[in-house]
Amino acid sequence: MTKSLLLAGALLCLGGSACGPQDASELGEAPAGLEATTFATTAAAAALTATGCTQLTAASVIAKGHDGNVPANTMDDRLTTRWSYLGKGAWIDYDLGSVKPITGVAVNWHEGSTRTNTFTVSTSPDGYTYTQVYSGTSRKSADTETYTFNSISARRVRITVHGNSLNDWASIAEARACSGGGTTTPPPPTGASVVWVGDFESGDRNQWTRAQMVSADRLAVVSSPRRQGAYALKATVRKGDDPINSSGNRNELVRMTREATGSEYYYRWSTMFDSTFPNAKTWQLFTQWHQDADSGGSPPVEFYVYGDEIRLNIGGNPGTIVWRTPLVRGRWMDFIFHVRWSPDAKVGFVELYLDGKVVLPKRYIATQYRGMLNYLKIGLYRNDTVTQTGIVYHDGWMMARKLEDVLSPTAVIKAP
């Protein structure tokens, strides 16, 4: 009853002229438990009724801002909630999780029966380069409207609102991207943004800066198993392997990437854990970005196994575990890791794809230690209390500036 009275009051305010500089019709209480700027949607969100639209459920949603009515509200399948933000040029952006054919958007405008909304729709394959595909004005209607355009392959869909016929508020109750069919196969990558390749297609370890190994058989380039091309790396660690007289046991390859502060890259690789890989309640690193100072300590970015779980930890020890998933043995796992390198938590971020799906939406966090750069290490590095032999396979390593060049886990690309 209280909510109905509030809605009725908002409608009365719309009809008057004494609502003050901030339109009271946009004020409201956000549902508890939802994040302000990003939200992983559920399958139930696809139930919005829309004509002429095969709906796609977004993996996450962000917006330029909000007034307490958060962007996640546009994916909760409830027309009584909304996203709102004051100002022309306000936008809301949906991440579909992978590149898909899109032929339109379906939008239910908050208070759509009382005003029209001027807006544009843009799409992007990577969240950086956007192409405007639609421009128009909504009808005065409480119904969900579908706006169509020529099919385009994209991962992100952005709706930008340039005010409405009563004020400058952007307010959307529900929105969905519309499918143009099944998931597209992205075009073959050109490799134009690739800056380094370490996929072992040279038949040796020469693509890497150096090896830390007790013997050549511990970091062996093999023809089987492999994920792409003709070769992969087999990393083996036995108890006592300590090639650099340091903590733990290891055999690792090093690439002195030394990414500049403020730089942004996509990293692609595939990893397979042998069927005999140890289940140990301690750390076993298979990929890390280590600080370049000889100060010791845990690296700022590390992928490791603990027991039967894979974890991504940011910030050293103890750091923050930003993602985890069950360990799968005997199967290739395809990673894409998107990073902006910075010691500033407001600038640096990480985003992770596993097997073609976003499993960690973009999260802002410090990815470097102040005054230090990082370099890449892969193979296996683990606590020296582990007694069982550990075997991990790596393949397809690549570093690029654009997502499209790392989307295929099996494409063999040469660095320019």
Per-residue pLDDT of 175-199, as tens digits, reads 999 986 544 444 567 788 999 999 9
Q: Where is pLDDT greater, at 155 or 128?
A: 155
Point out the least confidently predicted range of 46-55, 88-97, 176-185, 346-355. Answer: 176-185
- Tokens standing for residue 379: 């193979």
- Rounded to the nearest angstrom, the gap between the alpha carbon of residue 322 and the centroid of all alpha carbons in its chain is 12
pLDDT over 70 (residue 413): yes
Q: Identity (one letter) of the amino acid at 386?
A: V
CA dist 393 and 230 (Å) reads 14
Q: Residues 144-171: what's their mean pLDDT?
A: 93
User: Buried (b) or exposed (e) across 315-334, using 16+ Cβ within 10 A?
Assistant: bbeebeebbeeebeeeebbb
Mean of per-residue pLDDT scores for the chain = 86
The answer to whether 69 and 81 have CB atoms below 8 angstroms apart is: yes
Nearest to 415, CA basis, from 402, 401, 398, 403: 398
pLDDT over 70 (residue 8): no
Looking up tokens 């409608």 gives: 11
- E strands present in 14-144: 55-56, 60-63, 83-86, 90-109, 117-124, 131-137
CA atoms within 13 A on the CB side of 180: 16
Whole-model pTM: value is 0.62
Q: What pLDDT sits at residue 359?
A: 86
pLDDT over 50 (residue 404): yes
Q: What pLDDT sits at residue 27?
A: 37
Q: Residues 154-180: what's their mean pLDDT?
A: 94
Q: Residues 228-248: what's their mean pLDDT?
A: 96
159 φ, ψ (degrees, to nearest 5): -105, 120
pLDDT over 80 (residue 295): no
Cis before 318 (ω within 30):
yes
pLDDT over 50 (residue 114): yes
- Is residue 291 classed as helix, strand or coil in its secondary structure? strand
Q: What pLDDT sits at residue 357?
A: 81
Looking up tokens 């009808």 gives: 139
115 φ, ψ (degrees, to nearest 5): -160, 160
Point out the least confidently predicted range of 45-59, 97-111, 274-288, 305-319. Answer: 45-59
pLDDT over 50 (residue 9): no
pLDDT over 80 (residue 2): no
Question: Which residues, listed in sequence order, are joined to residue 266 by a DSSP beta bridge?
Answer: 338, 400
Q: What pLDDT sits at residue 181?
A: 52
CA dist 255 and 398 (Å) reads 11
Per-residue pLDDT of 70-109, as tens digits, reads 999 999 989 999 999 999 999 999 999 999 999 999 999 9
pLDDT over 80 (residue 134): yes
